[in-house]
Chain A
Amino acid sequence: TQLLEQSPQFLSIQEGENLTVYCNSSSVFSSLQWYRQEPGEGPVLLVTVVTGGEVKKLKRLTFQFGDARKDSSLHITAAQPGDTGLYLCAGKRANQAGTALIFGKGTTLSVSS
């Protein structure tokens, strides 16, 4: 059983299209972080969401944390080839001691021109 389910697993779109990636769980998280990972490199932090219902924007990327803090979404507007990569959500469960992050399996995005 995956604690953090990401969907879709793969996404291939044309430049200019919009897309949404989802990160869902049955557990409550004290925070969720979104990372982007290039092949052969480490995850690079994009954003952290903490408050239920919180929305954060990073240029063409919009991140939302669910009201119950069990899910999150990443929406990309007018995708560009430079957005291609693996998008990971990761979080710390609210009732979990320690600081270890639980990761989803990721969504591989491919944007073609």
Chain B
Amino acid sequence: EAGVVQSPRYKIIEKKQPVAFWCNPISGHNTLYWYLQNLGQGPELLIRYENEEAVDDSQLPKDRFSAERLKGVDSTLKIQPAELGDSAVYLCASSRGPSGGTEQYFGPGTRLTVT
């Protein structure tokens, strides 16, 4: 089975510019997650979707970050405008159901550099 696909793999932008990341989860996985990972740290959840509904977005900085998962499959995460502190790796993951018991499958991530 194909894994979680993310694009782009790398992105370099100037501060105040917009940027968008795309994720295609594993087929049949209803739950989709976006994580942020800073260097030397573990992933931190930004938002979790159950199908097309965002069920946990408490860690998403809503003034500049937005996400959508149309039709409950692919998802995009957008930052507008980007700040220097947004430089990090953005990981997408999917699972069959709630993560309390089931494993999560991660994509390779998008490494964002804001200059």
The answer to whether A and B assemble together is no
Chain B residues within CB distance 8 Å of chain A? none
Chain A residues within CB distance 8 Å of chain B? none
